[in-house]
Chain A
C-alpha cells in the first residue's frame, strides 16, 4: 500500500480545467447580449476620444517645443519604405532586362545554330553541286562524243543517202538497162522476125515474079 504513488495534481488539474471552462462559458454568456455590446462600444469610443485628445495635445506641445513627434518619425520612415519599394521595382526591372537579354541570347544562339546548320547544309549542297558539276562535265564530254559520233553518223547517213541515191540511180540505170535489154531483146526478136518476113515477102514477091 505504501508503494502506491499519489499524484495530488491530477485531480486539481481536472478540476481547474472544468472550472475554467465553466467560468469562461459563464462570462461569455453574460456578455452575450446587446446591452453589453452597446456598453462596450461606448467604452471603446470614449477610450478612443481620450487617446485622440492626448495625441492632439502631444502634437501641439511638441510643435511648441520644436520637437519631432511620432508622426514626424513615421513620415521619415515612410520615405525609407518608399525608397525600398523603388529599389525593389528597379530590381524587378533589372530582372526583366536580364530575362530579355537571356531570351535574346537564347534567340541569338538559336539563330547562330540555325546559321551553322544552314552553312553546313550549304557546304553539303556545294559539294553536291561540285559533284554534280563534275558529273555534268562528264556527261557533257560524253554528249560531245555522242554529238561527234552523231555527226559522224550523220555524215555516214549522208554518204548512205548518197549511196542510196546512187543506188537508186543505179537502179534506174539498171531499169534502163533492163529496158534496153528488153528493147534489145525485142529488137533482136524484131530483127529475127524481119528476115523471115522479108523472106516471106521475098518469097511472096519472088513467087509472083516466077510466074
Chain B
C-alpha cells in the first residue's frame, strides 16, 4: 500500500520545459528578428530624415494621418509586426498614413536643434505629405517626445492641421518620473549638460539608452518574463521584437538635446508659453484644431501629470483626454493605439 507524501510536489511538464529551453537557446544564439514593414513608399528624403507613405488598403478617408515619433527611439515600434502594427491597423481602417522617420543623426548633425527639426524637417515633411496626398488638410499624430514636437509645430505653423493627436506626451517638465532632486538639480543649474553635449556633438545610442536606464537601473524582469513564457512562440516573437527595439535607440543631435534640457526641462518654457522656435513663439493656446490626448495608466517614463496640463493650454473647442490601461511602449507595441485613434478620428476626418 502506497503512502502519500505530506508534501505535494506537482509533476513538471517536460515537453513544455524542453520547448522553453530550446527557445531560450535560440534567442541567445540567433540574430535579432528582421522587422518587415507594411507596404510603403518613400516620398521625400532630407539628410537622415525620410518621409514614408503607407497607402490605405481601401481608402475611406481623404484626410491623411501624419505620424511624428520621438527623437530618442526609432519609429518602427509603430509598425513592429503585421499582427500588432499601429500603422497597418490604421491603413486597414482606410487611412493614408505618413510617417516622418528622423533617421540616425550623425556627427555632422550636431547643430540640428528643435528649430531645425520642426521648421526644416517636420514642416517641410507635412507640406510634402499634403502635396503628395492632394488633401486639403491633415491629421498629425505625435507619440512621446514626437507629441511635444507635434504640439510645438501645431502652435506655430500656418499649414492646415485638422486634428492633432498626442500620446504619452511630455508637456509639463516641472513634474516627472525622475527623482525630485534630479529635476531640481537640472532646474537650478547644479547639473549642466551643455559642455558634455558639445564634446559629443551627437549623443551616441548607447548613452541615450544609458539615460533611460538611470530611471530603472535594475532591469531583469523582462528576461525572467521571457524564460517563464519561452514555451509560448507568440510571446517569444513579440518579446524579441520589443527587445530589439529597446536596444536600438537613436542617436540624439546635440543642439536638440541641449534645447530639451534647457528650454523644456530646466525652464519649462513650453508650459509658460516662452518657447521660441524660428522666431515664432510656440504658444500652445494657438492650437485651435480638434485635439486628442492619450495617456498610459502604467507609463514608467511619462507621468500623467506631464501630459494632463496640455488640455488647459490648448484653445481647441473640440478636445478629448483619455487614459488607457497600457504602458508607455505597450500602447504602440500591442497595436492598441490604432483602434483608439480610429475611434476618435473617424468622425473628424473627411470621407474620400
Given A31-B179, A32-B180, A34-B181, A44-B196 contact (CB < 8 Å): yes
A48 located at the interface, meaning its Cβ lies under 8 Å from any Cβ of chain B in the complex: yes
Instruction: Tally A residues with Cβ within 8 Å of B.
Output: 48
Q: Chain B's nearest CB lies how many Å from the CB of A165? A: 93
In contact, B179 and A9 (Cβ under 8 angstroms): no
Could you count the A-B residue pairs with CB atoms below 8 Å apart for me: how many are there?
115
Instruction: Tally B residues with Cβ within 8 Å of A.
Output: 45
Bound-state Cα–Cα, A107 to B152, Å: 38
Given A16-B224, A24-B216, A34-B190, A6-B199 contact (CB < 8 Å): no
In contact, B217 and A5 (Cβ under 8 angstroms): no
Chain A neighbourhood of B243, CB < 8 A? none
Bound-state Cα–Cα, A36 to B190, Å: 11
Segment from A74-82, A125-133, A137-145 that makes contact with B = A74-82
Given A13-B228, A32-B182, A37-B200 contact (CB < 8 Å): no
A-B pairs with beta carbons under 8 Å apart, 17 shown: A4-B8, A6-B9, A6-B10, A6-B12, A13-B221, A16-B220, A17-B224, A20-B218, A24-B218, A29-B179, A32-B182, A38-B190, A41-B192, A45-B195, A48-B195, A55-B199, A70-B107
Chain A neighbourhood of B195, CB < 8 A? 45, 48, 52
Given A12-B228, A24-B216, A74-B108, A41-B199 contact (CB < 8 Å): no
Bound-state Cα–Cα, A4 to B10, Å: 6
Residue of A8, A32, A45, A84 with most partner-chain B CB within 10 A: A32
In contact, B11 and A6 (Cβ under 8 angstroms): yes
Q: Mark B1-15, 1 if CB is under 8 A from A, else 0.
A: 000100011111100
A51 located at the interface, meaning its Cβ lies under 8 Å from any Cβ of chain B in the complex: yes
Bound-state Cα–Cα, A51 to B192, Å: 16
The listed residue (B46, B181, B219) touching A88 by CB distance below 8 A is B46
Given A3-B11, A37-B185, A77-B108, A85-B192 contact (CB < 8 Å): no
Q: Which residue of B lies closest to A35 (CB)?
A: B181
**A:71-106 near B, CB below 8 Å:** 73-75, 77-78, 81, 84-85, 88, 92, 95
In contact, A9 and B218 (Cβ under 8 angstroms): no
In contact, B221 and A84 (Cβ under 8 angstroms): no
B233 located at the interface, meaning its Cβ lies under 8 Å from any Cβ of chain A in the complex: no
Chain A neighbourhood of B9, CB < 8 A? 6
In contact, A13 and B179 (Cβ under 8 angstroms): no
The listed residue (A5, A28, A41) touching B185 by CB distance below 8 A is A41
Chain A neighbourhood of B46, CB < 8 A? 84-85, 88
In contact, A47 and B224 (Cβ under 8 angstroms): no
Bound-state Cα–Cα, A5 to B218, Å: 31
The listed residue (A10, A73, A75, A88) touching B228 by CB distance below 8 A is A10
In contact, A48 and B196 (Cβ under 8 angstroms): yes
Bound-state Cα–Cα, A95 to B131, Å: 10
B47 located at the interface, meaning its Cβ lies under 8 Å from any Cβ of chain A in the complex: yes
The listed residue (A13, A20, A52, A77) touching B219 by CB distance below 8 A is A20
In contact, A81 and B10 (Cβ under 8 angstroms): no
Chain B neighbourhood of A88, CB < 8 A? 46, 124
Residue of A1, A4, A48, A51 with most partner-chain B CB within 10 A: A48
Q: Chain A's nearest CB lies how many Å from the CB of B219? A: 7
Q: Mark B177-201, 1 if CB is under 8 A from A, else 0.
A: 0011110110000111101100111
B120 located at the interface, meaning its Cβ lies under 8 Å from any Cβ of chain A in the complex: yes
Bound-state Cα–Cα, A23 to B217, Å: 9
Q: Which residue of A lies closest to B230 (CB)?
A: A9
Bound-state Cα–Cα, A95 to B224, Å: 56
Q: Mark B194-229, 1 if CB is under 8 A from A, else 0.
A: 011001110000000000000111111100110110
A40 located at the interface, meaning its Cβ lies under 8 Å from any Cβ of chain B in the complex: yes
Q: Chain B's nearest CB lies how many Å from the CB of A5? A: 5
In contact, B193 and A44 (Cβ under 8 angstroms): yes
Bound-state Cα–Cα, A52 to B192, Å: 16
Q: Which residue of A lies closest to B10 (CB)?
A: A6
In contact, B108 and A17 (Cβ under 8 angstroms): no
In contact, B224 and A12 (Cβ under 8 angstroms): yes
Residue of A13, A38, A45 with most partner-chain B CB within 10 A: A13
Bound-state Cα–Cα, A41 to B110, Å: 22
